[in-house]
């Protein structure tokens, strides 16, 4: 049978862009459909604009730290509108750049949402197109708890990049990396921040030393953290927003006033309107694919895939956040390229989801790769794991007077001496862990770390001097 395309990709985010260009490089006729700005969550409303705001938020701390080094910094203020406009301009520049990459690769772009009609047919703007293979790469969207007033009055990580005015007071619901990153960003930019958690600690699933180190530092910096809370709703008043919740062990509701309320309780696969049922694509609960419930809220359905990103329909595939495996941009890119190599490049490959490094761009920052201490002990038992850890004041703050702490940690298999995990809290943790991740991925031992000469004076050298 002759098809309109060899491959039709639904979603022009990181996974869809990578797979479409790679498939086209092998000579495949490829089309991709996207109803939003090209670039997906990472470029448009995630990694890129967030990191730019992280940079902006750090200046307030640097102004204060400069005094310890003899600098006198005068009156300072943030032009919120200029910052937001500059960030949006850069996002749109990157989106146009990705469109250019698609054109150069010979990939046809449809600027509309596509849905499945059957296993080989998609519909875009009322027109139907056939394809030998279909790839779903639609990503995810912010989850919203079903509470009174949340849908009407709260923003998510999507809208926070578009606020016309800086909120003086902001309440953030959530304990994951998005919630804690924005808590630090908004605090650094000068807003009064309250972080409301369902549990007692942030960053569930991360190593406990990271969780404790970041949460304690956030509180020390002046971010108000309220733990063990159950949200009851948000009410709009002439004075602002009233945020209602009940703290564990208390009967009465607590009410906080805020200019904005950010709901950042996690993200769920964006499967609405895809027509998965038309093609018989099977979905499963996210928990069954290795992802726990997000901050106490259940994860919605995700597309079920095998190790080759194939769905229950042999010619339909899915990569990235819509499969709810590891929801990181480089993972979606890797999955997409492995799919294209396997299906169009005569190079059958499986993407490895083991030892994937990640960072949390809080202040202080965190970086992690491999097993946490708890995970390692669960696999090997308490006696099978050796922990090497150091906490210290970084050299930069020896003159600032700030009570900042760095934490570096290695999780080691006692029997084999292999390093199973590396974790860090401190400035440039993501940059440092990226290099450490290579060693962990290659199976380096603690003796290999010990035999490596450190760069002095640096924080990174602590990883090779731990005893």
Beta strands in 322-453 (DSSP E): 358-360, 366-370, 385-392, 406-413, 419-425
- Which residues partner with 52 through β-bridges? none
Longest dimension (CA), the chain: 75
DSSP string, 437-456: HHHHHTT-BHHHHHTSPPPS
Q: How far apart are CA 333 and CA 343, in angstroms?
A: 15
Q: How far apart are CA 388 and CA 306, in angstroms?
A: 36
Name the residue with tokens 């490049």. 345
Name the residue with tokens 């991709």. 32
For 412-415, the CB contacts below 8 A with 24+ separation are: 412/385, 412/386, 412/387, 412/388, 412/445, 412/446, 413/376, 413/380, 413/384, 413/385, 413/386, 414/380, 414/383, 414/384, 414/385, 414/386, 415/380, 415/384
DSSP string, 70-111: T---------HHHHHHHHHHHHHHHHHHHHHHHHHHT-EEE-
Catalytic positions, please? 456
The answer to whether 60 and 66 have CB atoms below 8 angstroms apart is: no
Helix (H) or strand (E) segment spanning residue 374: helix 373-380
């Amino acid at each position: 049978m002759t098809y309109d395309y060899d491959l039709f990709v639904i979603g022009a985010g990181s996974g869809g862009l990578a797979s479409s260009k790679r498939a086209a490089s092998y000579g495949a006729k490829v089309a991709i459909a996207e109803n939003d700005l090209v670039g997906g969550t990472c470029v448009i409303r995630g990694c890129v604009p967030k990191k730019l705001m992280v940079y902006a938020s750090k200046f307030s701390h640097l102004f204060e730290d400069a005094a310890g080094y003899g600098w006198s910094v005068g009156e300072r203020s943030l032009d919120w509108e200029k910052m937001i406009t500059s960030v949006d301009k850069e996002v749109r520049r990157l989106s146009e750049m990705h469109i250019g990459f698609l054109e150069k690769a010979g990939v046809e772009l449809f600027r509309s949402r596509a849905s499945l009609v059957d296993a080989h047919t998609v519909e875009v703007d009322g027109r139907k197109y056939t394809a030998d293979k279909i790839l779903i790469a639609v990503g995810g969207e912010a989850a919203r708890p079903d509470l009174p007033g949340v849908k009407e009055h709260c923003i998510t990580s999507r809208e926070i990049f578009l606020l016309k005015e800086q909120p003086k007071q902001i309440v953030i619901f959530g304990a994951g990396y998005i919630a804690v990153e924005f808590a630090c960003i908004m605090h650094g930019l000068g807003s009064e921040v309250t972080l409301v958690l369902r549990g007692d600690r942030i960053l569930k699933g991360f190593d406990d030393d990271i969780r404790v180190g970041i949460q304690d530092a956030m509180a020390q910096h002046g971010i108000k953290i309220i733990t063990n809370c159950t949200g009851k709703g948000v009410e709009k008043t002439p004075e602002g927003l009233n945020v209602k919740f009940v703290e564990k062990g208390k009967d009465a509701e607590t009410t906080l006033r805020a200019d904005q309320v950010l709901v950042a309780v996690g993200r769920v696969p964006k499967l609405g309107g895809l027509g998965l049922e038309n093609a018989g694509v099977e979905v499963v609960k996210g928990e069954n694919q290795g992802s726990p419930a997000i901050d106490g809220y259940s994860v919605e359905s995700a597309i079920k895939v095998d190790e080759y990103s194939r769905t229950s329909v042999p010619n339909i595939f899915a990569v990235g956040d819509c499969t709810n495996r590891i929801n990181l941009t480089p993972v979606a890119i890797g999955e997409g390229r492995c799919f294209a190599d396997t299906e169009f490049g005569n190079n059958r490959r499986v993407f490895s989801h083991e030892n994937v490094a990640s960072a949390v761009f809080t202040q202080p920052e965190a970086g992690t790769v491999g097993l946490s201490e708890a995970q390692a002990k669960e696999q090997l038992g308490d006696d099978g794991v050796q922990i090497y850890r150091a906490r210290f004041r970084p050299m930069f703050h020896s003159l600032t007077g700030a009570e900042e702490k760095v934490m570096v940690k290695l999780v080691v298999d006692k029997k084999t001496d292999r390093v199973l995990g590396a974790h860090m809290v401190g400035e440039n943790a993501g940059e440092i862990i990226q290099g450490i991740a290579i060693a962990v991925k290659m199976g380096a031992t603690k003796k290999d770390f010990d035999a490596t000469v450190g760069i002095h004076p640096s924080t990174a050298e602590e990883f090779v001097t731990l005893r």
